[in-house]
Amino acid sequence: MGQSTAITSNLGLLAPFTFGFMVTEVAVSVCSGFVSGGVCVFSRYPIIETMYQVYPLNGHAHKIFHGDWYGAKGCGLSVLRVKDFTVNLYSTHVSSLTRNQW
């Protein structure tokens, strides 16, 4: 069982709606990232729309062990339907710390 599947099954009815922001071919051609930026949403309410904006600067390619350049860090927008309201929820992951940066 994958990590996201385990989290989803443990959340059960508390957050039945999930979305993981994945990198698209457009994002790969525009910026450095080619793996997921690590942003996901678990919601009690329906997710009716999503969007992901990759940050233009994501670390440096020559710093192999930092990992930021390889991950498409950015900001995700999830539009939720909460009763009679539309709610914009923004999620982000801006940096991956290496052991020496802690």
Q: Are 18 and 42 within 8 A, CB to CB?
A: yes
- The runs of H, that is alpha helices, within the chain are 3-11, 25-30
Say which residues have a Cβ less than 8 Å from residue 96's Cβ, sequence separation at least 6. Answer: 38, 66, 67, 68, 71
Indicate the domain borders of the chain. 15-101
Give the per-residue pLDDT at 23.
63
What does each of the 102 residues of the chain score in pLDDT, given as a tens digit? 455 667 777 787 788 888 887 765 444 444 445 566 678 889 999 999 999 887 777 666 667 666 666 677 788 899 999 999 999 999 987 766 655 655
pTM above the 0.85 mark? no
